[in-house]
Structure 1
């Protein structure tokens, strides 16, 4: 997933890989504690959610961070409410 998020952030070098991976991990954890139980790297909606999270939180000066955060929050709520993203026990 790291290469896809780096591409979305327009990062072509490896110097920030640890920071970007931390954002990916944080996004996955945030989705999980919000009720999204099925988190797959191959799922386009999960990838979009993590991309929005990363774009919202990456960099010190980001004029669009609030826009990306609103998009992430909205998608996270939809995923958490959708039965497809729950484990049936």
Structure 2
């Protein structure tokens, strides 16, 4: 299963009309992780996948009452990833 499919499932989205927006969010999450020092961005890695999904949940749609909670969760997970040499050192 591709990462976009996992994200769409987590967002409870089935329509393809949102694929472009969702892919932009996935790309944004990966770039944010890279800018923070995460170099090992493997789509199948459970923590990378979780970080991307939570980032997308925080930023997808308008009027999301849970956005702040998801953003805090993403920030904590990003911090955890940046403190681990498994994710910040080139393999």
Partner of 1:44 in structure 2?
Answer: 46
Partner of 2:67 in structure 1?
Answer: 65
Residue 25 of structure 1: how far off its partner (Å): 0.1
Query: How far apart are the structure 2 equivalents of 1:3 and 1:25?
Result: 14
Question: TM-score scaled by structure 1?
Answer: 0.97
Report the RMSD for the aligned CA atoms in angstroms.
1.0
Structure 1 residue ranges, 4+ long, deviating more than 3 angstroms after superposition: none
Looking at secondary structure, tell me which structure has more helix per residue.
2
- Unpaired runs of at least 5, structure 2: none
**Alignment coverage as a number of residue pairs:** 89
The CA deviation string for residues 51-80 of structure 1, in whole angstroms up to 9 with x for no partner, is: 000000000110000000000000000001
Residue 2 of structure 1: how far off its partner (Å): 0.5
Query: How far apart are the structure 1 equivalents of 2:86 and 2:60?
Result: 29
